[in-house]
Amino acid sequence: QQQVKQSPQSLIVQKGGISIINCAYENTAFDYFPWYQQFPGKGPALLIAIRPDVSEKKEGRFTISFNKSAKQFSLHIMDSQPGDSATYFCAAIAGGSQGNLIFGKGTKLSVKP
Amino acid sequence: DSGVTQTPKHLITATGQRVTLRCSPRSGDLSVYWYQQSLDQGLQFLIQYYNGEERAKGNILERFSAQQFPDLHSELNLSSLELGDSALYFCASSATPGGETQYFGPGTRLLVL
């Protein structure tokens, strides 16, 4: 019930291509879905987030698509660049006073020049 | 830079020992969260404090404890350390107890030999 399942585990994309990472959840109490980007040796950094009342959110080259009925959401990175090479984590959180993020296992993205 | 600071950056110790990890949240943030990141378990929530009080507990072992001080900095105490405790420990902070937008520190890498 508390899990967030993320795929793929790793992804190799050519420069300029589209990177797509998928996540699925079960707990319908989740109402906020952030994506975090983590570079080696660094802490996770908030990239973009979405609430279930919208189907898509775009910030620059990063887009979240959200399918509430399927309980799935995905991150699309357009025009992927070598500097985007990092590990990406989807997460979910349920509203209320307890604010612990539930993370997916992560996707290691490599963008080849 | 997220504004969250953690010390030390690296820690090497022996089994059976006790260590203390320190976290200073972003200025004005009242909530502090501790997460453990390991290769096999991913990012796991340990415990949350809000304005000095424990707010939520996750997969935190009984050998681990935490507290948040009046100046809002937090410490995570790990005792009777085992090899399996070797991991990255992250602190995050947010302005509210709901914690939707959490900012992560750079982490403490703990190696138990």
Q: What is the pLDDT of residue B18?
A: 98
pLDDT for residue A68 is more than 80: yes
Q: In 3-state terms, what secondary structure has residue B79?
A: coil
Cα of B41 to nearest chain A Cα, Å: 8
- Please name which of A43, A33, A103 lies closest in space to residue A65, comparing C-alpha atoms: A33
- B104 interfacial to chain A (CB closer than 8 Å): yes
Q: Output the CA–CA distances (angstroms, integers) from residue A59 to A62, A65, B22, B83, in the order listed.
A: 5, 12, 34, 42
| Closest Cα in chain A to B43 | A103
Sign of CA dihedral A44, B33, B45, B18: positive
pLDDT for residue B108 is more than 70: yes
- Neighboring chain A residues of B31 at a CB cutoff of 8 Å: 99
Question: What is the rounded CA–CA span in Å between residue A93 and residue A113?
Answer: 35
Q: Which stretch of DSSP H or E encloses residue B62?
A: none
- B2 interfacial to chain A (CB closer than 8 Å): yes
Cα of B63 to nearest chain A Cα, Å: 20
Q: Output the CA–CA distances (angstroms, integers) from residue B79 to A78, B21, B26, B83, B112, in the order listed.
A: 46, 11, 27, 12, 11
Judged by average pLDDT, the poorest of A25-29, A80-84, B62-66 is A25-29
Q: Which of A45, A99, A105 is nearest residue B48 as measured by Cβ atoms?
A: A99
Instruction: Determine contact, residues B90/B37, Cβ cutoff 8 Å.
Output: yes
Structure tokens at A87: 């590990």
Q: Which of A44, A45, A93 is nearest residue B100 as measured by Cβ atoms?
A: A93
Q: Given pLDDT bands bounded at 50, 70 and 90, which one contains residue B2?
A: confident
More confident residue, B35 or B42: B35
Question: What is the rounded CA–CA span in Å between residue B48 and residue B73?
Answer: 12
A45·B104 Cβ contact <8 A: yes
- Neighboring chain B residues of A90 at a CB cutoff of 8 Å: none
pLDDT for residue A97 is more than 60: no
Instruction: Determine contact, residues A97/B31, Cβ cutoff 8 Å.
Output: no
Size of interface A-B (CB pairs under 8 A): 73
- Compute the average pLDDT of residues B26-45: 91
- Compute the average pLDDT of residues A43-60: 94
Which class for A113: exposed (0-12), middle (13-18), buried (19 or more C-beta within 10 A)?
exposed
Question: What is the rounded CA–CA span in Å between residue A9 and residue A109?
Answer: 9
| Closest Cα in chain A to B91 | A43
